[in-house]
């Protein structure tokens, strides 16, 4: 993986983390207000979910260069 | 009869609001791949100025122009990293220079 590609992947990772953090926070706030009587734990849970999704995406993205990719051939 | 239906109605409203928020997040690609997320961010950035203008027209007052801040966090961070590492790399030679100067000064004093 070239340095340029690696840099771009890290850029995407950071941007994605920010987006998912915000989304998780927002959805956590919505759920906390609507269902859980404004408790804190849904907010924390949503934020954690968002960060986890971002981590998983980053991991897959950075690994994809070294993983074998295959396609299933269509049956004829 | 209305008293019995009201809790159900409230619950249904709550489910609609929460489900709608979740669906909007899913549909706009916020929960997907990293590339989809950056596409959505780009679209949102492009959509903000016209939206702000429309709201201004609707309310009928002028928002003073936001001052253009010529600050790029990326450039600042990169230059900070470069300066720190450069400082670390010249530390040994700088320290030895200062030590030599200090010893020379002390020698001169004792002459």
Q: What is the pLDDT of residues A38-63, one digit of tens each?
A: 899 999 999 999 999 999 999 999 99
- Contact indicator for B32, A11 with CB cutoff of 8 Å: no
Mutation target for A interface from B14, B34, B44, B78: give the one with most A CBs within 10 A.
B34
Q: Which residue has the higher pLDDT, A76 or B81?
A: B81
Q: Report the number of distinct structural domains present in chain A.
A: 1
Measured CA to CA, the distance from residue B55 to residue A22 in angstroms comes to: 24
Using a CB–CB cutoff of 8 Å, tell me whether A30 touches chain B. yes
Q: Which residues of A touch B14 (CB under 8 A)?
A: 34-35
Size of chain B in residues: 111
Does the model's pTM come out above 0.90? no
- ipTM metric: 0.76
* Residue-range domain boundaries for chain B: 1-31, 38-68, 72-110
Q: DSSP states of B33-58 as a string?
A: -HHHHHHHHHHHHHHHHHHHHHHHHH
**pLDDT for the residue B61:** 64
Count of pairs with CB atoms under 8 A, one residue in A, one in B: 42
Measured CA to CA, the distance from residue A69 to residue B59 in angstroms comes to: 54
The torsion region of residue B23 among left (phi > 0), alpha (psi -120 to 50) and beta comes to alpha
Q: Is pLDDT of A27 > 90? A: yes
Burial class of residue A39 in the structure, from the number of CB atoms within 10 Å of its CB (0-12 exposed, 13-18 middle, 19+ buried): exposed
Partner-chain residue, chosen from B18, B31, B35, that has the shortest CB–CB distance to A23: B31
Using a CB–CB cutoff of 8 Å, tell me whether A16 touches chain B. yes
Q: pLDDT digit of tens for each residue in chain B (111 aa)? A: 777 888 899 999 999 999 999 998 888 888 888 788 778 778 878 888 777 778 777 776 666 666 677 777 888 888 999 999 999 999 999 999 999 999 999 999 988
Domain containing residue A9: 2-73
**pLDDT for the residue A12:** 87
Q: How far is CA B87 from CA B72, B79, B94, B97, in A?
A: 22, 12, 9, 15
Q: Which residues of B touch A20 (CB under 8 A)?
A: 30-31, 37
CB count in 10 Å sphere of residue A17: 19
Quick one: angle between helices A41-63 and A3-34, nearest 10?
Answer: 160
């Amino acid at each position: 993986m070239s340095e340029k590609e690696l840099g771009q992947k890290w850029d995407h990772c950071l941007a994605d983390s920010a987006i998912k953090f915000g989304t998780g926070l927002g959805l956590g706030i919505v759920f906390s207000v609507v269902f859980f009587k404004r408790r804190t734990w849904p907010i924390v849970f949503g934020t954690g979910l968002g960060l986890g999704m971002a981590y998983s995406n980053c991991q897959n993205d950075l690994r994809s260069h070294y993983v074998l990719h295959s396609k299933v051939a269509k049956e004829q | 009869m209305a008293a019995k239906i009201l809790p159900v109605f409230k619950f249904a409203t709550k489910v609609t609001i929460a489900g709608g928020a979740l669906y909007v997040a899913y549909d706009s690609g916020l929960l997907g791949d990293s590339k989809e997320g950056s596409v959505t961010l780009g679209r949102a950035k492009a959509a903000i100025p016209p939206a702000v203008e429309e709201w201004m027209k609707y309310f009928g007052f002028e928002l003073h122009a936001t001052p253009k801040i010529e600050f790029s966090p990326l450039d600042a961070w990169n230059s900070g990293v470069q300066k720190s590492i450069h400082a670390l790399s010249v530390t040994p030679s700088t320290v030895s220079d200062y030590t030599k100067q200090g010893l020379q000064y002390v020698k001169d004093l004792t002459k």
